[in-house]
Amino acid sequence: MKKNLVQKIIEKHLLEGNIISGEEIGIKIDQTLTQDATGTIAYLEFEAMGVKKIKTKLSVSYIDHNTLQTGFENADDHLYLQSIAEKYGLYFSPNGNGVCHQVHLERFSKPGETLIGSDSHTPTAGAIGMLAIGVGGLDVAYALATGRFYLNMPKVVNIKLSEKLNGWSSAKDIILELLRRLTVKGGVGKIFEYSGEGVKTVSVYERATITNMGAELGLTTSIFPSDEQTKKFLKLQNRENDFKEISADEHSEYDEIIEIDLSKIVPLVACPNSPDNVRNVKDIEGTKLDQVIIGSCTNSSLTDLLLVAKILKGKKVKVSTIISPGSKQIFINLLKLGALSDLVESGVRVLEPACGPCIGMGCAPVSGGVSLRTFNRNFKGRSGTDDAEIYISGPVVAAFSALTGKITEPSGKIPRMEVPKKIKIMDDLIIAPRKTDTNVVIFRGKNIVPIKKFNKVSELENVIVGEVVLKLKDNITTDDIIPAGAKILPLRSNIPAISEYVFSKIDSGFVARVHAVAKKSSGIIVAGENYGQGSSREHAALCPKYLGIKVIIAKSYARIHKSNLVNFGIMPLIFKDPTDYEKIDISDKLEIENVQSLPSQKTLTVKNIAKNFSFNVTCDLTERQLKLLLSGGLLNCL
Ligand code: MIC
Ligand code: SF4
């Protein structure tokens, strides 16, 4: 039988189940990655599993999110992570070495292998032909302990690229075009597999922009074949030995096909406050800017920044412009090639390689300010300024706009890009695993608060009585649930402390209300479509659980967040008839009946006691997930 690329990789890694879309499969995981903002909890969970040795071929712990060290919290967390890496035999990429996805692509990714990471943009490594999936930290901990990961086999969609990009259009415009067509929930339950003649014209760094931002479509992951472009990239990285050609069989089957003629792609911008609010640059040209930032795991590659340096060379930026290279390796090569001085002379500020402003760690715009960024997310408030307007574009549009202080359509002759044949390889900061060392003492600062297991949904709770503590609209992000930013991010290892910020940007009375309700019953949240879109942060499940939320009833869920809810024993119920959503209000008392019948029966009846009517909800989980849920979460099942 002819196979597509996804089927080939999954078949090689299949441990349980059948490769049929919608069915649960268990696959072997070759590599894992974590970053510091999700990593501390993930490794606390791993420690709670009591396993002596990691079961993956290669695992890396990155420090890239919480890098400001404004207090002891970050520094303590980093030392905890370093000592865990040393004890259990993981690679450790320290503060300053770069954003996990960029460094992983450059130094560790391998065609044909599997990777899960506790960050939603882990699919970046799909650029090199890896099956790379973003997950919650508990799933990474489980893979470290067992080598396994479970998922519902997604539909595989073939994105057929023809022709090649014209003029100033870039890889960012390809993924923005897909977002324009499909929206932020258009990819849920799907993997995008790229093919076609056009693929040959797209470099690995460009592919990485596309696979990275597939996360904004809600995709499980995106993947490119491993071909001549991959070979060239790995050669540049001095890793030719990791090259392996791998692609779909000719005429293999897909669940769906989407065709894109690259020659028709034009420069695009996502407008506030969603990555799918996409317009042609020319339609919003002239929008006045207060700030331009070029960086993040989406657009901070060597080729991106070399092109920006070419555009800015010999000119002066007209607005505050900030650049952060994706990795130390990119930084040093920009320096060696003279591009860094072109950037600095043009008036650009340079930050160290890290997530930085992308996660609200510095460079917040002025009140009501307008900022153009090459990032992947422009959710309200994520920049650190609640009323700022954030636009998203590729680096070329950002560079031209920096020179005018307004959103500007790129024009003029395209400079000849001299991408070097050889670059300086920079692994010096990465600490490679020695033999696992059982004598290593794990450092635990006072910011590290061990997590506790949760109670089972016991027989007594065959009926859950709860009160609606919040009613939310469609597309609620994990940033809405538990915001990031310089004040809150350093508390990631301290669940009691960070839980005080749950929904703080949406409803400042939420935490007090849940505390009051938790004294007598359970908190229930009601939401619209695509609840929990965005990041992989399991704090968006763990903290509500800690506060006493037992049930969410939504019209639909984002993939990673739904798994996180199950992992922490919160019921992700779905309105059988979405119009019932309209009939429920905050403070309504609900009674969910027959909860223990869930494994055999997937529909439950909910009584709205306050309004005296009943409605049905479904729980479309697999048997394994239902078992986890009723046991109070994955930690209770080990
Ligand atoms: C993000 O881009 O939102 C983050 C911060 O990288 C998150 C992870 C986190 O919240 O720590 C993600 O994308 O998963
Ligand atoms: Fe970091 Fe931003 Fe990428 Fe998240 S999206 S990993 S915060 S650079």
> Which tens digit of pLDDT belongs to each residue from 119-175?
999 999 999 999 999 999 999 999 999 999 999 999 999 999 999 999 999 999 999
Nearest atom in ligand 1 to 537's CA: 10
Q: How far apart are CA 536 and CA 392, in angstroms?
A: 21
Domains: count for the chain: 2
| Ligand minimally distant from the alpha carbon of residue 354 | 2
Contacts of 428 (CB under 8 A, 6+ apart): none
Which CATH number does the domain housing residue 357 bear?
A: 3.30.499.10
Per-residue pLDDT of 469-517, as tens digits, reads 999 999 999 999 999 998 899 999 999 999 999 999 999 999 999 999 9
Residue 201 burial by CB count (10 A; 0-12/13-18/19+): exposed, middle or buried?
Answer: middle
Q: For residue 355, report the distance from its CA to the centre of ligand 2, in Å.
A: 5
Ligand 2 neighbourhood includes 373 CB (under 6 angstroms): no
Ligand 2 pocket test: pick from 376, 392, 477 the residue with the most ligand atoms within 8 Å of its Cβ: 376
- Examine residue 118 and state whether it is found in any structural domain, yes or no: no
Q: In what order do the strands lie in the sheet with 114-117?
A: 91-93, 58-62, 31-35, 114-117, 131-134
Same domain, 388 and 517: no
**10 Å Cβ neighbour count for 197?**
12
Q: Given the DSSP bridges, would you call strands 148-152 and 24-28 parallel, antiparallel or unpaired?
A: antiparallel
- Examine residue 576 and state whether it is found in any structural domain, yes or no: yes
Amino acid symbol at 176: L
Give one word for 388, left, alpha or beta, with left for phi > 0 and alpha for psi -120 to 50.
Answer: beta
| Domain end residue (candidates: 404, 420, 453) | 404
Q: How far apart are CA 224 and CA 195, in angstroms?
A: 7
Nearest atom in ligand 1 to 65's CA: 5
Mean pLDDT of 387-416: 96
Which residues is 554 bridged to in the sheet? 574
Ligand 2 neighbourhood includes 169 CB (under 6 angstroms): no
Same domain, 382 and 523: no
pTM (predicted TM-score): 0.97
Q: For residue 405, report the distance from its CA to the centre of ligand 2, in Å.
A: 25
| Ligand minimally distant from the alpha carbon of residue 102 | 2
Nearest atom in ligand 2 to 35's CA: 6
Confidence (pLDDT) at 457: 65
Shortest-distance Cα residue to atom 7 of ligand 1: 535
Per-residue pLDDT of 529-557, as tens digits, reads 999 999 999 999 999 999 999 999 999 99
Percent of the chain scoring above 90 in pLDDT: 90
| Domain end residue (candidates: 404, 419, 441) | 404
Contacts of 248 (CB under 8 A, 6+ apart): 3, 4, 5, 8, 158, 193, 195, 225
Local structure of residue 630 (DSSP, 8 states): H
Which CATH number does the domain housing residue 481 bear?
A: 3.20.19.10
Confidence (pLDDT) at 459: 53
Same domain, 517 and 391: no
Ligand 1 neighbourhood includes 34 CB (under 6 angstroms): no
Q: How far apart are CA 180 and CA 331, in angstroms?
A: 32
Ligand 1 neighbourhood includes 133 CB (under 6 angstroms): no
Nearest atom in ligand 2 to 535's CA: 4
Ligand 1 neighbourhood includes 37 CB (under 6 angstroms): yes
Q: How far apart are CA 627 and CA 376, in angstroms?
A: 35
SS3 62: strand
| Domain end residue (candidates: 355, 387, 404) | 404
Same domain, 624 and 553: yes
Ligand 1 neighbourhood includes 505 CB (under 6 angstroms): no
Same domain, 386 and 316: yes
In 373-491, which residue ranges form alpha helices assigned H by DSSP?
395-404, 478-481
Cβ atoms of residues 635 and 45 within 8 Å = yes
Ligand 1 pocket test: pick from 212, 220, 359, 559 the residue with the most ligand atoms within 8 Å of its Cβ: 359
Domain encompassing residue 471: 464-633
* 321 alpha-carbon distance from chain centroid: 25
Confidence of residue 327 (pLDDT cuts 50, 70, 90): very high
Which tops the pLDDT comparison, 627 or 28?
28
